[in-house]
Structure 1
Amino acid sequence: MAVQCVRSKVEAPSLTSDLSRLAEWLRVLGEPSRLQIFQLLMQGTYCNCELGKVLSMAPNLISHHLRVLREAGLITAERDPRDARWVYYSINRQALEALHHACGELFDPRRLGERRPACGPRNGDQNG
């Protein structure tokens, strides 16, 4: 006997934040080296060479991770007006605030619901 699921109207919960942007930020920060860089930048502004020394990473690897973080909008890069060879990196405050808000909203334990399945034994369906 095949089990048939009752087709109920199931709606995905909506968050006020942009979930695709949050997913991208979490993917970017899911790489341990980028998360370390992000954590250091929370202390303030760094240049590429300082990050390389602190993290014991090659300059090209630091540059790669900084580019990924910058393209995701999580950090900003500012060239020194006196010597354009120097680039300083810092946290994008607006992105940080959006990330904080979205994570707080998504992972808020108060959002846990008591929804029960519309079919199967858990709903009292004796045919499942």
Structure 2
Amino acid sequence: MSDLQRRAEAFAALGDPGRLQIVDLLAMGDMSSSEIASVLGMKSNLVAFHANVLEDRGIARRVRSESDGRRSYLQLIPEAFSDLTLAPRKVEGRVLFVCTANSARSQLARAIWRTHSEIPAESAGTHPGKRVNAGAVAAAARHGLRIDDDAHPRSLAEVARPGDFVISVCDHAHELLAGGDDVHWSIRDPAQTGSVEAFDRTVSELRSRIARVAPQLTAA
């Protein structure tokens, strides 16, 4: 298939208002079919149909939940719409990144966010660990990022404030929060393997997502 034909089919897929609504949602974060149906008031079989079309056209993909293997999330493929823009969303407080232990993904996300936006950011965990993962600290150093020397895992209850824009970067946290986050990014836990490659992939994915989302958020 030529590049011209591929792009033509992708844009044809977006000719349906329902699919365009789904893409608008996915441009900010990952969502399950049931979450999409709830937000849009769309029947589940219609969501499934639209999701299949988006997947077939290379616009979105399904990723299995790291927490509940029976659940999957629909995720926009960044390369499909590198120039996709959304209307800015106002943030009353801070951007708050949440994962389970607040020892790797959310710490790295906060460090990356500070290089992309003036909106302050914090991080927290639903079940905070004892210390920041050494692999995350090393990855930050390799990529020119700064995790504060005195950084330590903190609980969501301790950190959260009214007005925070909450981004869960972990399936466990998202499913536990059950709608308490504003955006969800389904990102695998690099600490599961602890390899340099796993942490570098996490930094790369977080950078890609933050580069897309940061320009869409403005301080209230």
TM-score by length of structure 1 reads 0.60
Instruction: Pick 1 or 2: higher relative contact order, CA cutoff 8 A, min separation 6.
Output: 1
Q: Which residue of the partner structure matches residue 110 of structure 1?
A: none
1 CA distance for matches of 2:7 and 2:51?
18
1 CA distance for matches of 2:34 and 2:49?
13
2 CA distance for matches of 1:64 and 1:45?
17
Q: From the two aligned structures, give the one with the greater strand fraction.
A: 2
Q: Looking at CA atoms only, which structure, 1 or 2, has the larger radius of gyration?
A: 1
Fraction of identical pairs, as percent? 37
Task: Return the offset for 1:81.
Answer: 3.3
In structure 2, the residue corresponding to 1:81 is in which secondary structure?
A: coil
Q: Deviations over 1:8-31 (max 9, x none)?
A: xxxxxxxxx821111101110001
**1:15-94 to 2 correspondences below 5 Å:** 18-94=3-79
TM-score by length of structure 2 reads 0.36
State the aligned residue count: 83
Q: Which runs of 4+ in 1 moved over 6 A?
A: none
Structure 1: which 5+ residue stretches go unaligned? 1-16, 102-128
2 CA distance for matches of 1:91 and 1:32?
17
Task: Return the offset for 1:48.
Answer: 0.6
1 CA distance for matches of 2:64 and 2:38?
20
Structure 2: which 5+ residue stretches go unaligned? 85-220
